[in-house]
Amino acid sequence: MYKDIATPKRTQEILKKYGFSIKKSLGQNFLIDPNILQNIVSHANLTKESAVIEIGPGIGALTEHLARKAGQVVAVEIDQRLLPVLEDTLSPYDNIEIIHSDILKTNVEDVIQEKLAGYKDIMVVANLPYYVTTPILIKLLMEKLPIRGMVVMMQKEVADRITASPSTKAYGSLSIAIQYYMKAEIAMTVPRTVFIPQPNVDSAVIKLTRHETSPVDVLDEDFLFKVSRSSFAQRRKTILNNLQSQLPLGKEKKEVILAALAEANVDPTRRGETLSIQEFGNLANILLPNFKESSLL
């Protein structure tokens, strides 16, 4: 049996052995509860026919649990200081490859083709750094990677926003962007007490599963997101006021916007937070011919 990395004693031993100083700027918080890690991995439904992409393996606590379940694990780590640590802690496993790279600058599709060829079932599983959670998720989703989904831990507040429903305080353009690509649900919450060092907030693990059929057919995805972001620019304002102030020449095109809202059966006095993703998609399709240039913004 392997000795788990994710215990308070072993984590401290590893950090001390390498004289490793934790960088807050890289969002480094190391999990010290093996049960939580097993739970995270269980939500990914992995078999030896599965491959996993992990982001930010740290000292390998989650990585080793993934390697026990999956056929192959590729972990992308930005901090060069962790490479010798990972080489040591993960030495019992022969199905892990560490790539030293910034995930935001990594061509993930190339990684899949080069490192995971032959695997049809691919999942992203990670404890994401809080400070770049949203950019990472948006990048992975917009690249339309051949993955089944993701199981990722993040700040609970962000998880609430991603999984939010219309007419709730947490619902916004991030909810729409993620839910357009994936079904989103909170799998579990994680208290701050199971990390070294302890973060200032609690965490949550969300499970993202690719839609079998898209929740809405849109003519231009970028424009859908432009319309949704515009509609939430000032949450207290009506959708008409937000679209007028945010879309190119919106004030001059007030009548065009009003006509589109009427055609989409959306009352112009509603707030953006009350519209479903289907309503946003329909509205974006109707507005698009009059705002072609804004699809590039």
β-sheet bridge partners, residue 204: 154, 189
Structure tokens at 223: 């424009």
Asked if the structure places residue 3 within a domain, the reply is no
Give the span between the Cα atoms of 14 and 165, in whole angstroms: 42
Task: Among 154, 180, 210, identify where a domain stops.
Answer: 210
Report the alpha-carbon angle 93-94-99, nearest 5: 95
What mean pLDDT comes out for the span 79-103? 95
- pLDDT, residue 250, reads 76
CATH of the domain at 150: 3.40.50.150
pTM, two decimals, is 0.92
What mean pLDDT comes out for the span 172-179? 95
1-5, 106-110, 162-166, 209-213: least confidently modelled range:
1-5
Instruction: Residue 153: give the domain boundaries.
Output: 8-210
- pLDDT, residue 27, reads 64
Structure tokens at 99: 């790539």
- pLDDT, residue 297, reads 42
What mean pLDDT comes out for the span 128-152? 93
Q: Tell me the percentage of the chain whose pLDDT exceeds 70.
A: 96
Instruction: Tell me: do 191 and 282 sit in the same domain.
Output: no
Q: Tell me the percentage of the chain whose pLDDT exceeds 90.
A: 79
Instruction: Tell me: do 166 and 197 sit in the same domain.
Output: yes
What mean pLDDT comes out for the span 93-121? 96
- pLDDT, residue 67, reads 97
β-sheet bridge partners, residue 30: 196
Instruction: Tell me: do 88 and 167 sit in the same domain.
Output: yes
The answer for residues whose C-beta is within 8 angstroms of residue 139's C-beta and 6 or more apart is 103, 104
Length of the chain (residues)? 297
pLDDT at 20 over 90: no
What mean pLDDT comes out for the span 46-54? 98
Instruction: Tell me: do 156 and 244 sit in the same domain.
Output: no
Q: Which residue numbers belong to the known binding site for S-adenosyl-L-methionine? A: 29, 31, 56, 77, 102, 127
Q: Which residue numbers belong to the known binding site? A: 29, 31, 56, 77, 102, 127
